[in-house]
Structure 1
Amino acid sequence: MTWRFALVIQPAGVDDDRRDFSATFRTIDPAEPALSVGELSTQRGDGIFESIGVVDGHPQEVAAHLDRLAHSAEICDLPAPNLEQWRQAVARAAEHGERRGEGVIKLILSRGVEHGPAPTAWVTASAAADFTVPRTQGIRVVTLDRGYASDVPDRAPWLLLGAKTLSYAVNMAAIREAKARGADDAIFVTSDGYVLEAPTASLILKFGDRFTTPAPTGGILRGTTQQSLFDHLREEGYETAEELIPVDLLARADAAWLVSSVRLAAPVTAIDDTRIELDSGLTQAFNRYLLTPRD
């Protein structure tokens, strides 16, 4: 990944209603060191982030990503972000990012340096990887036990399930395990037999003309791309639903996709040992929509 731009933010309070936050931004060389050795984002993964897809210079679904950033901050007891300040930071990054093709803007809010200053925040822009192969040829996935039951988020909110935190070691370990089993990605499931999500993507299943995704309970991160695609599907006359999905329903799906802000819609061709039909027409339609400018 080639970093094109980095911007450090001096966080403003939510009650700061200035119209121009440019004085709170500091552009830095993305190739140069920028974080203190006491930074808790690197020492403990104590922070949150968002990845915003960029298409021909247009950052996608900014409002939804900022709302999720605020939601994650609330779950993690981080200072509430000033969304207008972050919106302006995204716009600044987009000006210096990819003008043609696809890119990614990342937003990071950390608890900061132990004993202060805190919090710390920054935004980066870079070119996106080439996802042509997974979008057109599909991916194989395996199911992996996430290690908790579906009621854990209610019983143990301190696990921060449902927040997009920087602590992605488990997610990356799951992808490595999937590849060790000969697959490309994974789908997490609960110990009591319900489907969750992929380590870095949401799951969409098709049954007839009905599309469903696991309900955002049980520690699922609500997917911005999934929500946008469901809005589009409803406009096209399809039925959509968020619901509890037993694991045994995966094998009965007529089609399946992992969707995310940067990879977009990758069709699933196999789940464990069960082959899933690749619907090329729908996949192309999904990605055509996801590559159009969306606010």
Structure 2
Amino acid sequence: MTVLVFLDSAFEQGRVVDASRPQLMATDQGATRGDGVFESLLAVDGGVRKEQAHLARLASSAGALRLEIPDAEAWSRAIRTALTEYAASTPDRPEAVVKLIATRGVEGAGPTAWVAVSPVPAATRRQRETGVAVLLLDRGYDSTVAQRAPWLLLGAKTLSYAVNMAAIRHAKEHGADDVIFTSSDGKVLEGPTSTVLTARHRGGVKTLVTPQLESGILPGTSQGALFKAAAEAGWQLGYGPLEPKDLLEADAVWLISSIRLLTPVTAIDGAAIPTAPELTAELAALVDRFL
């Protein structure tokens, strides 16, 4: 079951459409060029999590593309409409994926924007519990390219996800579940759809570390919220740089994202790594605070 609500100036609360019928023009530049931006939010029991953080990142990504999109209030109204429609049709589903999508539209006609709500996939929920095995894959550029070449749109959440999906397919073809990208100069970057976290517990001090934003990774809304909650709980925080050896030497490694949440990494390149269930449980409880 998927609910679609288009942002349309003639419909203040958004225009509900039939998701089983074609809705996007074949000439839309989102389809022909991947020219657009998106966000994926988690809705639990009808409430969206970290809505303002996602809307801020959507606006930031659109700004990097010089793409005009509806304002935050219009998105919020369309989200409410979509969630109401979804709840009416699927009252027994406590979780849902809420996608906000904006494209440059048909050339000369202006942007296209819509909200899509659908169930959280069962495989996603399962990986929260079982964890994931990952491969380290070279992304093909060094960790300073984002500062030298802003037109590459590193750090923006664009619709151009073909490389990310190809990386995940490669991992699955080689017996893994997911990927952690590295730079050509040996720095840990991010997952195709997630942020990397590592933890160390030494001498009673717990430290949570994530890669440097300056390396051209997407600023994670879940990572940001977890860091705030962890700091309040007494954790020390760090922002890289991280290298592959740091992952292998950590007490635990996780991938975190808005839909899959905090997911333990169980193996890297075929080698099992510690998962520290007690640290996972503690951080998962902190994640629940911003859920």
TM over 0.5: yes
> 1:291 Cα deviation (Å)?
4.5
C-alpha offsets along residues 240-279 of structure 1, whole Å, 9 cap, x if unaligned?
Answer: 1222112221211110110111111110011114321122
Report the counterpart of residue 243 of structure 2 in structure 1.
Answer: 246
C-alpha offsets along residues 149-174 of structure 1, whole Å, 9 cap, x if unaligned?
Answer: 11111111111111100010000000
C-alpha offsets along residues 78-112 of structure 1, whole Å, 9 cap, x if unaligned?
Answer: 01541111122222222223554211110001001
TM normalised by structure 2 equals 0.92
Distance 1:29 1:291 in 2: 34
Report the counterpart of residue 53 of structure 2 in structure 1.
Answer: 64
C-alpha offsets along residues 103-159 of structure 1, whole Å, 9 cap, x if unaligned?
Answer: 111000100102x21111011111111234312221110100000011111111111
> What is the aligned counterpart of 2:141 among 148, 159, 165?
148
What is the alpha-carbon root mean square deviation over aligned residues? 1.7
Distance 2:224 2:290 in 1: 15
Report the counterpart of residue 4 of structure 2 in structure 1.
Answer: 6
SS of 1:244's partner is coil
Would you say the 8 A contact 2:133–2:270 is kept in 1? no
Report the counterpart of residue 16 of structure 1 in structure 2.
Answer: none
> 1:292 Cα deviation (Å)?
5.3
Distance 2:287 2:235 in 1: 17
Q: What is the number of residues matched between the two proteins? A: 282
> 1:22 Cα deviation (Å)?
4.8
Which stretches in structure 2 are left out of the alignment for 5+ residues?
Answer: none
> 1:280 Cα deviation (Å)?
2.2
Distance 2:207 2:242 in 1: 14
SS of 2:157's partner is coil
Report the counterpart of residue 225 of structure 2 in structure 1.
Answer: 228
2:68 is aligned with 1:79: yes
Distance 2:7 2:82 in 1: 12
Report the counterpart of residue 120 of structure 1 in structure 2.
Answer: 112
Q: After the TM superposition, which segments of 4 or more aligned residues of structure 1 sit over 6 Å from their partners? A: none
**What percent identity do the matched residue pairs reach?**
44
2:23 partner letter: A
Report the counterpart of residue 185 of structure 2 in structure 1.
Answer: 192
SS of 2:238's partner is strand
